[in-house]
Amino acid sequence: MSGWARPLLLLLAGACGLTLLGYAVYFDRQRRNAPDFKRKLRQREHKKSVEHLTNAISVCAQPHQLLQLLHNTLPPQVFEMLLQRVPYTKQVRMLLKS
């Protein structure tokens, strides 16, 4: 390495570390100040899980049995989100096949 490369790499590593620390502090402050933070985070997780489950149902050989299993295991509000999304996924798949 030349004479200026090492200090530049150290400076870059320090800047990245400082940026990561700043992001962590900012995120923690947002979490502490938002009373509905946990609810919003859970809701986002539910949406992602429903999306993945919808994909699983659309490629499943026996979707009715999978839906019955999910009905017994998922919380009611998540299962309702899933039921609302299933017909939409089938319509999109039909359009893609055309």
Q: Where are the beta strands (DSSP E) in the chain?
A: none
Mean pLDDT score, 72-98: 75
Between CA 68 and CA 21 the distance in angstroms is: 46
Provide the pLDDT for residue 48. 84
Q: How far is CA 19 from CA 5, 28, 35, 67, 83, in A?
A: 21, 14, 26, 45, 42
Report which of 43, 41, 85, 40 is spatially closest to residue 63, judged by C-alpha positions: 85
Indicate the SS3 state at residue 27.
helix
pLDDT tens-digit profile of 45-55? 778 888 888 88
Indicate whether this model's pTM tops 0.75: no
pLDDT tens-digit profile of 17-76? 999 999 999 988 888 888 787 777 777 777 888 888 888 888 888 888 888 888 888 888
